[in-house]
Amino acid sequence: MGRISGCLLCTLVLIASAINYSNTAPAPAHEGMFKFETEIERTMFEFFVNLFKYLHASLDKSRELLEQVLKDEVIVQKNDLEKSKELLMDYIVEAKERVKPLPADISTVDGFLYIVTQIHTLNTFEDIVQRYNTTSLPKPTDEDILIEAALKRNGLDALISELKNNKMVFFDEFLRKMGIYVKNLSEEDRIKNNKVVEWYQKYTDSTDEQKANDVFTHFAQMFARF
């Protein structure tokens, strides 16, 4: 991967120094700190700020759920669940690490990789949920059943629904803004930005899950130059 510059660098600097890892949207005044030459730069600026906020909130809520599971009365009383308890604790520690402030001297590549590691950690939470999904296990153990029950007692189903809804709201808003950008391109700019146009056309024909995965991978990498 080449260097990340321009708008994305501004976004990462903003994340590191201005919004203080709050779930509250950055004030409009913050945007005035940066000059955008094109609407795609502005859109990408908003995309990475909102992506960070989405990931930060999701990591916090998933961590809190697993903390509650470890405090669950049934789980606390069991002394033969060390493997599962260690797995949950490892995630809690990693999730806390992922929402610490970025270094003041952050480089562009470091900033991009920071968001990638947040995505990776959140995917680990999904792996844990699937690990204890007894309906998909050929022979669930007593330990699997106990952990799954504790997850559900402490709000797993509601959290999954909330995270899915938040993710789709985030991507739908991004798609809406990208649609406005593509629609208003001049013929000259449409040719110049043919990758954007091609990606957008493919994106609109994708399923919700495909859209989410595509934004996290291909699109973010395609615009790493901003």
Is residue 56 one of the residues assigned to a domain? yes
pTM over the 0.75 mark? no
Average pLDDT over residues 189-196: 80
Is residue 100 one of the residues assigned to a domain? yes
Hey, what's the torsion of the CAs at 211, 216, 219, 223, to 10 degrees? 150
At a CB cut-off of 8 Å and minimum separation 6, what does 67 contact? 92
Q: Would you state the structure tokens that stand for residue 77, as one six-digit string? A: 């009383």
Residue at 15: amino acid letter: I
Is residue 22 one of the residues assigned to a domain? yes
Q: How confident is the model at residue 168 (pLDDT cuts 50, 70, 90)?
A: confident
Structural domain tally of the chain?
Answer: 1
Average pLDDT over residues 182-204: 81
Length of the chain equals 226
C-alpha–C-alpha distance, residues 2 and 80, integer Å: 48
Closest CA to 100 of 60, 139, 135: 60
Neighbour count for residue 186 (Cβ, 10 Å)? 9
Is residue 212 one of the residues assigned to a domain? yes
Is residue 132 one of the residues assigned to a domain? yes
Q: What is the DSSP string of 151-177?
A: HHHTTHHHHHHHHHHHHHHHHHHHHHH
C-alpha–C-alpha distance, residues 217 and 165, integer Å: 20
Is residue 1 one of the residues assigned to a domain? no
Residue at 197: amino acid letter: V
Q: What is the pLDDT of residue 106?
A: 44
- pLDDT, one tens digit per residue, over 113-153 is 777 788 889 889 999 999 999 999 999 999 999 999 999 99
Is residue 117 one of the residues assigned to a domain? yes
For residue 57, the enclosing domain spans 6-222
